[in-house]
């Protein structure tokens, strides 16, 4: 499988993603610069974490106005697989490829820690190797990760099975105390209606080998390449 | 032409920055009922520029923000 890794000024998880795809999974990966206009020939496009354009204006806002972002939009509309991690998720919401927005964490702090996530939708190409209800241990690292959508839209998303991940306790229960950033309904990751675009705040690439404390993140990558 | 755009968190949305400022103002004895923290964007644009479109498509995320053009 051939992956494109989008590189914006301020992306900082691009090499982590490259390492996982190339060295752990043995797949093909290439960096694509934000000025590029074409994503033809790739099977999956990854928007990695970081602070694209310094998070100026809003996190992801300026990156979503670049030639590469418009190419991602085009790629997704043709059914291509798009994965947005952390800042990549923020860019995808600003591009309107995913519903909702990511706001400053409720406690106004940058939060970097391991969290538990419950998988709510295991039907999309990014999660098909995971059981519904399975609990994963994956780190988050963000200052603006409080997911928000208006109530009516949230209801529609639930009906369409667009909620993919929720922050939870170790036993899988959804509680206020397991919600690190104040996200509505403990939401940590969502997909579009078609299921080919997926964004999440946690970092699967930082939990893809035992040396890093968890390999739960590998499940997403294995789902993709299977 | 000079344009000033004031951007504020949408009404009804939790604004933790505004809340933190409000709490500290109250602790310091100021009788404050509400605080919202937003941002100001000053633009110098060519005459005929569609400012509403510029603001709504580029500067503001209407899902979470509201704005005033001056």
- Give the nearest partner residue to B16 out of A58, A108, A150, using CB atoms: A108
B13–A94 C-beta distance less than 8 A: no
Distance separating alpha carbons of residues A160 and A28, to the nearest angstrom = 32
Characterize the bridge pairing of strands B2-9 and A101-103.
Answer: unpaired
pLDDT score for A64: 97
Distance from CA of B61 to the nearest CA of A (A): 8
Domain boundaries along the sequence of chain B:
2-69
Distance separating alpha carbons of residues B40 and A122, to the nearest angstrom = 43
Domains observed in chain A: 2-225 (3.40.50.880)
Confidence of residue A41 (pLDDT cuts 50, 70, 90): very high
Sheet containing strand B2-9, strands side by side = B39-44, B2-9, B65-69
Q: Is A86 a catalytic residue?
A: yes
Q: What is the pLDDT of residues A70-106, one digit of tens each?
A: 999 999 999 999 999 999 999 999 999 999 999 999 9
Q: What is the pLDDT of residues A14-38, one digit of tens each?
A: 999 999 999 999 999 999 999 999 9
Confidence of residue B9 (pLDDT cuts 50, 70, 90): very high
Specify whether the CB–CB gap between A141 and A49 falls below 8 A: yes
Q: For the domain B2-69, what is the CATH code?
A: 3.30.1280.10
Distance separating alpha carbons of residues A88 and A177, to the nearest angstrom = 26
Instruction: Point out which residues pair with A200 in neighbouring strands.
Output: A85, A189
Q: What is the pLDDT of residues A202-223, one digit of tens each?
A: 999 999 999 999 999 999 999 9
What mean pLDDT do residues A156-162 have? 98
How many CB atoms lie under 10 A from the CB of residue B61? Answer: 19
Q: Is A205 a catalytic residue?
A: yes
Write the ipTM.
Answer: 0.84
pLDDT score for A161: 98
**A70 contacts in chain B (CB < 8 Å):** none
């Amino acid at each position: 499988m051939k992956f494109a890794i989008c590189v914006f000024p301020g992306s900082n998880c691009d090499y982590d993603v490259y390492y996982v795809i190339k060295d752990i999974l043995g797949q093909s990966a290439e960096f694509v610069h934000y000025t590029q206009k074409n994503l033809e020939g790739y099977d999956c496009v990854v928007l990695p974490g970081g602070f694209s354009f310094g998070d100026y204006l809003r996190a992801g806002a300026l990156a979503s106005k670049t030639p590469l972002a418009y190419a991602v939009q085009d790629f997704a509309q043709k059914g291509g697989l798009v994965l947005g991690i952390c800042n990549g998720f923020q860019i995808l919401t600003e591009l309107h490829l995913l519903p909702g927005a990511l706001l400053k964490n409720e406690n106004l702090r940058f939060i970097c820690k391991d969290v538990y996530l419950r998988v709510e939708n295991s039907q999309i190409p990014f999660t098909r190797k995971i059981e519904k209800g399975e609990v994963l241990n994956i780190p988050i690292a963000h200052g603006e990760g409080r997911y928000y959508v208006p109530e009516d839209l949230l209801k529609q998303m639930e009906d369409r099975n667009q909620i993919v991940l929720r922050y939870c306790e170790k036993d899988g229960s959804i509680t206020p105390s397991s919600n690190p950033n104040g996200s509505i309904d403990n939401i940590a990751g969502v997909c579009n209606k078609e299921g080919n675009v997926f964004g999440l705040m946690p970092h699967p690439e930082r939990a893809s080998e035992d040396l890093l404390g968890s390999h739960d993140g590998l499940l997403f990558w294995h789902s993709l390449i299977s | 032409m000079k344009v000033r755009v004031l951007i504020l968190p949408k009404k009804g949305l939790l604004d933790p920055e505004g809340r933190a400022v409000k709490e500290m103002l109250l602790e310091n004895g100021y009788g404050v009922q509400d605080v919202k923290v937003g941002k100001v964007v000053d633009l110098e644009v060519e005459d005929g520029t569609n400012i509403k479109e510029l603001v709504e498509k580029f500067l503001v995320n209407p899902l979470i923000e509201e704005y005033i053009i001056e």
